[in-house]
Amino acid sequence: MVQVSRYQLILMLIWTVLGTGIVTMPGTIAQFTLRDAWIAGFGLMLGAGMCAVIALAHVRLFPGRTLTQAAIDALGPVIGRAYGIWFLAYGFVTLATIGREMSAFIGISVLPNTPDFLVSAIAFAVSMYLTYLGIEVVARVNEFILPLAAVVSPVLFLLAARLFDPSPFLPFLGDPAVDAWRAAVVPAFAYGLEFSIALQWVPALRTPRTLPWDIVIAGAISAVALSTLVTLTVGVLGEPARYLNYPVLELVRAIRQGKFVERLDTLYVMGVAITLVLKLATFQLAVGEAVKDVSGSRERTWIPVPVALLGWSLSNYLFRNVFDVTNFIVRAVPGYFFTTAVLLPGVLYGIRAVQTVGAKRRRALRDT
Amino acid sequence: MTSVWAVLWAIFGAVVDVRRWVPKSWREWVVWFVLTALAVGVAVASDLHLWPPLGPLHLFDLAFSGPSSWLYGGRAGLKET
């Protein structure tokens, strides 16, 4: 039985959220506020907190089961599978969004003459093979890239910190609180709720009982990293951060050390490309588990090919450009993810709790 | 004499083991076919620029921009991006 350790799980969760988070979130936060941008990054903790509560209910009511297996257990084969199809739609739309974010980012930053669909095809093919090899391999690749991130990211941030100017943050907390809240909605509800994807990995976890704590730890680390990144971005770029699609890319491009050290964005793009492929792989693992549960199959080796193929097709079809992606994330995703990752599982666990209480009462009546 | 292509195919087959990618039961075949057919259909629609006026993104916007607006703080609605 393949088992993923707590350390591996926390790393997988961090890269799952920060993979696209470091590309998209600073830009979406800066659209709402600059002065309070540093605090908006902590919205991730709110999403992580909600996911931790959901995970706590899940591991107590459905130990060792995935979310889609739990739905079939609690709601029966027909309604449970309908729930599974809803989850599949959520998974495919998220895969498409990640794939399009990636192809647009790579196209704009390093491969302007390569068609976006080709870039995303390569990314989906790599992540498909990772998914085929299984969750343990994905977890080990997450561990493998940690040294790159742990060495390169602080160096880039420290070099950028020389250009930091605190004036965009003054007066301190000067914007109305509602602006800070609006800026925190995307981190909290669009990215923070992605932690709930771990519910699909429960059977592969070595200690599923600690899942809620692991989500909180991953959320705290991600929130600190995101807030640091947003603070640096706004401090270095100032007002123009509002109008850039990829402000962090411009932050890294702004680094110049001496006469020869510049254009370090290649390192940044390499890191982002790796984390995006890993994010695609982790979501494909979750979607693959849902396909397995909905189809009632025992094998999962036949699943990655059609899942990757559909994810790739949808990423090219749904979003014609970066504006479509950003608009979708800002306008629809908070409500969509809140419904899918919080409300529906909440209803499911409520039904299970009622079923458990009813069964206990019937047993007590029979005994008396 | 064995051709180069046969050797390459044998190496590829040994590394990837393509036979395991094939569904076994009829139920797996149905799901595989549905997902692949959807993927091919969507790819063809994308290639032919077949975007209906009320596309999937519009439907998502209609269904979820209301709840999102509520999360953003309600009455003022979303800020234009």
Task: Give the A window 150-179 contacts with B, CB below 8 Å.
Answer: 178
pLDDT given at position A59: 95
Q: What is the mean pLDDT of residues A74-99?
A: 95
- The answer to whether B18 contacts chain A (CB < 8 Å) is no
How is chain B classified by DSSP, letter by letter?
---HHHHHHHHHHHHH-GGGGS--SHHHHHHHHHHHHHHHHHHHHHHTT---TT-HHHHHHHHHHHHHHHHTTSTT-PPP-
pLDDT given at position B75: 52
* pLDDT tens-digit map of A261-309: 777 888 888 888 999 999 999 999 999 999 999 999 988 899 999 999 9
Q: Look at residue A49 and tell me whether its pLDDT is greater than 50.
A: yes
Q: Which residue has the higher pLDDT, B17 or A3?
A: A3
In the block, tokens 């390093």 appear at A110
Q: Look at residue A58 and tell me whether its pLDDT is greater than 90.
A: yes
Residues in chain B within 8 Å Cβ distance of A328: 57, 60-61
Q: Look at residue A247 and tell me whether its pLDDT is greater than 70.
A: yes
Best B72, B75, B79 residue to mutate vs chain A (most A CBs within 10 Å)? B72
User: Which residue spans within chain A are E strands per DSSP?
Assistant: 256-257, 261-262
Q: Do A328 and B24 touch (CB under 8 A)?
A: no
Find the CB nearest A185 among B23, B43, B72: B72
- The answer to whether B79 contacts chain A (CB < 8 Å) is yes
Q: Please tell me the distance from the alpha carbon of residue A149 to that of residue A152, in angstroms, as a whole number.
A: 5
**In this structure, what token pair is assigned to residue A80?**
């449970």
- Distance between first and last Cα of chain A: 42
Closest CA to A41 of A225, A171, A170, A172: A225
- The answer to whether A132 contacts chain B (CB < 8 Å) is yes
Q: Look at residue A167 and tell me whether its pLDDT is greater than 80.
A: yes
Q: Which residue has the higher pLDDT, A172 or A108?
A: A108
Residues A338 and A188: beta-carbon distance below 8 Å: no
Residues A195 and A47: beta-carbon distance below 8 Å: yes
Split at pLDDT 50, 70, 90, the class of B81 is: very low
- The answer to whether B37 contacts chain A (CB < 8 Å) is no
Q: Please tell me the distance from the alpha carbon of residue B35 to that of residue B39, in angstroms, as a whole number.
A: 6
Residues in chain B within 8 Å Cβ distance of A189: 68, 71
| Among the four given CATH numbers 3.30.2270.10, 2.60.120.10, 1.20.1740.10, 1.10.1200.120, the one describing domain A6-367 | 1.20.1740.10
Find the CB nearest A331 among B28, B40, B61: B61
Closest CA to A278 of A98, A13, A16: A16
* pLDDT tens-digit map of A325-360: 989 999 999 999 999 999 999 999 999 999 999 988
Collapsed DSSP state (helix, strand, coil) of residue A361: helix
Kindly state the percentage of chain A with pLDDT values over 70.
100
pLDDT given at position B76: 46
Query: Residue ranges per domain, chain A?
Result: 6-367
Split at pLDDT 50, 70, 90, the class of B78 is: low
Split at pLDDT 50, 70, 90, the class of A1 is: low
Q: Do B25 and A297 touch (CB under 8 A)?
A: yes
Closest CA to A341 of A87, A149, A170: A87
* pLDDT tens-digit map of A141-165: 999 988 878 888 888 888 888 888 8
Q: What is the mean pLDDT of residues A122-134?
A: 93
Q: Please tell me the distance from the alpha carbon of residue A324 to that of residue A340, in angstroms, as a whole number.
A: 21
ipTM: 0.88
Residues A160 and A251: beta-carbon distance below 8 Å: yes
Secondary structure tally for chain A: helices H, strands E: 14, 2
Query: How close A131 gets to chain B, by Cα (Å)?
Result: 12
CA distances from A196 to A211, A364, B42 (A): 10, 35, 28
pLDDT given at position A197: 94
pLDDT given at position A306: 95
Q: What is the mean pLDDT of residues B63-71?
A: 91
